[in-house]
């Protein structure tokens, strides 16, 4: 595995792969890799001749009161894990390499962003589409892999690549969970012992909402069920709970066939998100 820090080095490496006719899989990350990231890398390595991983804590997707400075970082550990999972190249640029002075052009994510995490994090997805546009151009992947845990991000990125005709496939990968159901996340390390015991109840609340919906009730009833379960989480404050059509992230209608139940809960040192996505059988509500 090769590690590079500059755009020119990354482009040179990718150019060699392309010249050899290799397909390129890409996994964008902000580092502090966990099993969820490694599963994305393994997926990419199994479906492509070469796999590139970016490790870059993107400053433009953090709000003024968010955890950019405290976001966990351990590059040496990340490089070892990425290599073991099957990465061929890690692109780990400095912020000054990716953002060079005042931007000549800015990007704004105009759809799928005013609900869920986007509602309380204005500008977050603008930063996401900006950095991904840069990374897609630098690394020229055939496929890019994203975890379904951040389903809103997947929806926004799919909108980006569709809108601007990026010649790549977005591949969503199932959420990796702990044995008790908690979605794996870099932010889990900030949970206290008691909070760690409470956190799996987020997934259980979403499962209860899905059951409610599939039992013949409606979106509002399922949302109420999720909120009822989330209220039982000790030491956690519910940020949101929603039932929406996916990937459009609009209210559910009679015609909706793909549904997402999503929630976010704030603990003392971490805000955790989770979701479940399912397909409604024909004739369902």
Domain 2-173 is classified in which CATH homologous superfamily? HUPs (3.40.50.620)
Could you list the active site residues?
37
Question: Which amino acids are annotated as binding site for ATP, given as ranges?
Answer: 30-37, 147-150, 176, 184-187
Torsion angle of the four alpha carbons 179, 182, 184, 186, in this order, in degrees rounded to the nearest 10 = -130
Residues at the binding site for beta-alanine are 61
CA distance 187 to 210: 25
Query: pLDDT higher for 120 or 49?
Result: 49
Tell me the whole-structure pTM to 2 decimals: 0.91
Provide CATH 3.40.50.620 ranges for the chain. 2-173
**pLDDT tens-digit series, residues 153-194:** 999 999 999 999 999 999 999 999 999 999 998 889 999 999
Where, residue-wise, is CATH 3.30.1300.10 in the chain?
Answer: 186-279
DSSP assignment of 136-188:
HHHH--SEEEEEGGGHHHHHHHHHHHHHTT-SSEEEEEPPPB-TTSPBP-GGG
pLDDT at position 284 is 44
Q: What is the mean pLDDT of the chain?
A: 95
> pLDDT-based confidence at 71, cuts 50/70/90?
confident
Q: What CATH number does the domain located at 186-279 have?
A: 3.30.1300.10
Q: What is the pLDDT at residue 282?
A: 61
């Amino acid at each position: 595995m090769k590690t590079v820090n500059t755009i020119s080095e990354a482009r040179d490496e990718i150019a060699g792969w392309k010249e050899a006719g290799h397909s390129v899989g890409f996994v964008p990350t902000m580092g502090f890799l966990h099993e969820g990231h490694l599963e994305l890398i393994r997926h990419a390595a199994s479906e492509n001749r070469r796999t590139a991983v970016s490790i870059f804590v993107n400053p433009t997707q953090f709000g003024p009161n968010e955890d950019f400075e405290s976001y966990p970082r351990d590059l040496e550990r990340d490089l070892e894990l990425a290599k073991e999972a099957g990465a061929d190249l890690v692109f780990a640029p400095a912020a000054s390499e990716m953002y060079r002075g005042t931007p000549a052009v800015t990007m704004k994510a105009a759809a799928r962003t005013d609900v869920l995490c986007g509602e309380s994090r204005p500008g977050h997805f603008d930063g996401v589409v900006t950095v991904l546009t840069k990374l897609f151009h630098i690394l020229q992947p055939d496929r890019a892999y994203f975890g379904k845990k951040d389903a809103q991000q997947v929806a926004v990125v799919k909108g980006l690549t569709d809108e601007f005709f990026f010649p790549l496939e977005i591949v969503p990968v199932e959420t990796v969970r702990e044995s008790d159901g908690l979605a794996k996340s870099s932010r889990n390390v900030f949970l206290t012992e008691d909070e760690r015991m409470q956190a799996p109840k987020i997934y259980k609340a979403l499962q209860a909402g899905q059951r409610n919906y599939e039992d013949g009730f409606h979106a509002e009833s399922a949302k109420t069920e999720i909120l009822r379960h989330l209220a039982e989480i000790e030491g956690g404050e519910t940020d949101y709970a929603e039932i929406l059509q996916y990937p459009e992230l609009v209210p559910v209608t009679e015609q909706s066939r793909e549904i997402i139940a999503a929630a976010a809960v704030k603990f003392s040192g971490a805000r955790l998100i989770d979701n479940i996505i399912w397909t409604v059988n024909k004739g369902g509500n």
